[in-house]
Amino acid sequence: MIHLTINGLGVSVEEGATLLEAAQSVGFPIPTLCHMEGLSPYGACRLCVVEVGEGARARLVSSCTYPAQEELVVRTASARVLRARRMVIELHLASCPQSKTIQDLASALGVRQQRFRQEQESCILCGRCVRMCAEQMMAGAIGFRGRGQSRSVGTPFDQPSDACRLCGGCLYVCPACELRCTYTEPEKAVCGGCANLQPPCVENGRFDQMMCYMDPCVACEIAAQRR
Amino acid sequence: MRSLSSVEDLAALRQRLAGRGERAIPTIVIPAGTCGRANGALDLVRAAKRELLARELVGRIGLRVTGCHGFCEMEPSVLVAPHGTFYPKVASEEMGRIIGAAAQDRVVTDLLFADGEGERIERQDDIPFFARQTRRLLGRNQEVDPTRIEDYLASGGYAALAAALAAGPEPVVAEVKASGLRGRGGAGFPTGAKWEMLARQPGRRGKFLVCNADEGDPGAYMDRSALEGNPHAILEGMLVGAVGTGANEGVIYVRDEYPLAIRHVSMAIRQARALGLLGERILGTDLSFDIEVVRGAGAFVCGEETALIRSIEGKVGEPRQRPPFPVQRGIDGKPTLINNVETWANIPLILEKGAAEFAAVGTQGNSGTKIFSLVGKVKRTGLVEVPMGATLGEIIHDIGGGPVGAAAVKAVQTGGPSGGCIPAARFDLPVDYDALTAAGSIMGSGGMIVMDAHTCMVDVARYFMGFLKQESCGKCFTCRKGTQRMHEILDDITRGEGSPEHLQLLEELALAVKDTTMCGLGQTAANPVLSTLRYFREEYLEHIRHGRCPAAVCKALVTYSINEACTGCGACRRACPGEAIRGASKERHVIDSARCTKCGMCVTVCQFGAVAVA
Which pLDDT value is given to residue A200?
61
Q: Hey, where are the domains in chain B? A: 21-126, 157-180+195-349, 363-452, 457-546, 559-613
- Which is nearest to B523 in space by CA: B515, B535, B532? B515
| Reported ipTM | 0.88
E-strand ranges in B303-381 read 336-340, 362-363, 366-367, 369-376
Q: What is the mean pLDDT of chain B?
A: 93
pTM (two decimals): 0.90
Residues within 8 A of B (CB atoms), A 28-57 only: 41-46, 49
Nearest residue, CB atoms, B478 vs list A46, A61, A80: A46
Sequence-distant (≥ 6) Cβ neighbours of residue B475 within 8 angstroms:
A42, A43, A44, A125, A127, B318, B319, B518
Residue A92 near chain B (CB below 8 Å): yes
Ordered domains of chain A (ranges, CATH): 2-108 (3.10.20.740), 128-226 (3.30.70)
**Distance between CA atoms of residues B130 and B123, nearest Å:** 10
pLDDT digits (tens, 9 = 90+) for B589-611: 999 989 999 888 898 899 998 99
pLDDT digits (tens, 9 = 90+) for B372-394: 999 999 999 999 999 999 999 99
**Cis peptide leading into residue A97 (ω within 30°):** no
Which pLDDT value is given to residue A227?
46
Q: Are B102 and B60 in contact (CB under 8 A)?
A: no
Nearest residue, CB atoms, B471 vs list A59, A92, A148: A148
Give the gap in angstroms from C-alpha B306 to the nearest C-alpha of chain A: 14
**Residue B279 pLDDT more than 50?**
yes
**Distance between CA atoms of residues B479 and A43, nearest Å:** 12
pLDDT digits (tens, 9 = 90+) for B281-294: 999 999 999 999 99
The percent of chain A in helix, strand and coil, each rounded to the nearest 5, is: 35, 15, 55
Which pLDDT value is given to residue B348?
97
| Strand, coil or helix: B572 | helix
* Contact call for B488 and A116, based on CB within 8 A: yes
pLDDT digits (tens, 9 = 90+) for B445-473: 889 999 998 899 999 999 999 999 999 99
Which pLDDT value is given to residue B165?
96
| Chain B positions in Cβ-Cβ contact with residue A149 (cut-off 8 Å) | 469-470, 472, 474, 480, 484
Average pLDDT over residues B188-217: 94
Give the gap in angstroms from C-alpha B547 to the nearest C-alpha of chain A: 21
Sequence-distant (≥ 6) Cβ neighbours of residue A139 within 8 angstroms:
A133, A163, A164, A165, A167
Q: Which CATH architecture has domain B457-546?
A: Up-down Bundle (1.20)
* Contact call for B512 and A83, based on CB within 8 A: yes
CATH class of B21-126: alpha beta
* Contact call for B477 and A61, based on CB within 8 A: no
| Chain B positions in Cβ-Cβ contact with residue A127 (cut-off 8 Å) | 475
Which pLDDT value is given to residue A122?
79
Share of chain B above pLDDT 90, in %: 85
* Contact call for B473 and A148, based on CB within 8 A: yes
Q: What's the CATH fold of domain B559-613?
A: Alpha-Beta Plaits (3.30.70)
For chains A and B, CB pairs below 8 A equal 97
Q: How many CB atoms lie within 10 A of CB A9?
A: 12
Give the gap in angstroms from C-alpha A92 to the nearest C-alpha of chain B: 8
* Contact call for B509 and A62, based on CB within 8 A: no
pLDDT digits (tens, 9 = 90+) for A145-200: 888 889 999 888 888 888 888 777 888 888 886 555 555 565 655 555 555 556 66
**Distance between CA atoms of residues B183 and B344, nearest Å:** 9
Q: Could you confirm whether domain B363-452 is CATH 3.10.290.10?
A: no
Of the residues B475, B476, B479, B486, the best mutation for testing chain A's interface (the one with the most A CB atoms within 10 Å of its CB) is B475
Q: What's the CATH fold of domain B157-180+195-349?
A: Rossmann fold (3.40.50)
Nearest residue, CB atoms, B516 vs list A60, A127, A147: A60
Residue A151 near chain B (CB below 8 Å): yes
Of the residues B481, B501, B507, B508, the best mutation for testing chain A's interface (the one with the most A CB atoms within 10 Å of its CB) is B481
